[in-house]
């Protein structure tokens, strides 16, 4: 329903696992596309901890690793995903926050800012693409 290509997800997960930033894949079950990975014991990071400078630096380092991964099949645009999920939610009459249109407008502003100086995909993230609505 959410349009996730499980083969692309599998390839991305394998690349991240090889870098040590995702758990090892134990099984990829087809044709269903089920991905079974090693269990990692952990806990959610509270927002106040995420805001600490050392945690922000740590997350920046992980994101740099993600953005230097080898190429993977498929592309991903966070902007198109939000649009696609919005359309899916509308089909199922999901209630949206009162400020949702404002949020979509801010997303489009961010996309326009990115598109002024586009950068190459890393590894297969597409920033500038055609809006779906």
What residue ranges do the domains of the chain occupy?
1-73, 75-133
Residue 105 has pLDDT above 80, yes or no: yes
Geometric angle at alpha carbon 12, from 82 and 121, rounded to 5°: 65
Across 73-80, average pLDDT? 85
Residue 106 is predicted with a pLDDT of 97
- Per the prediction, the chain carries an average pLDDT of 88
- Residue 104, judged by CB atoms within 10 A of its CB (0-12, 13-18, 19+), counts as middle
- pLDDT single digits (tens) 8-17: 899 999 999 9
- pLDDT single digits (tens) 22-56: 999 999 999 999 999 999 999 999 999 999 999 99
Tokens of 132: 């779906």
Residue 126 is predicted with a pLDDT of 57
Closest alpha carbon to 125 in 94, 88, 80: 80
């Amino acid at each position: 329903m959410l349009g996730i290509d499980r083969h692309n997800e599998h390839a991305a997960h394998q690349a991240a696992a090889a870098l040590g930033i995702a758990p090892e894949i134990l099984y990829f079950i087809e044709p269903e596309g089920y991905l079974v990975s090693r269990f990692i014991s952990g806990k959610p990071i509270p927002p106040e901890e995420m805001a600490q400078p050392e945690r922000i630096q740590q997350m920046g380092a992980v994101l740099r690793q993600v953005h230097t991964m080898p190429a993977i099949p498929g592309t991903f645009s966070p902007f198109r995903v939000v649009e696609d999920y919005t359309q899916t939610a509308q089909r199922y009459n999901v209630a949206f926050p009162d400020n949702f249109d404002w949020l979509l407008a801010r997303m489009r502003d961010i996309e326009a800012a990115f598109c002024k100086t586009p950068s190459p995909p890393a590894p297969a993230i597409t920033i500038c693409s055609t809006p779906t609505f």
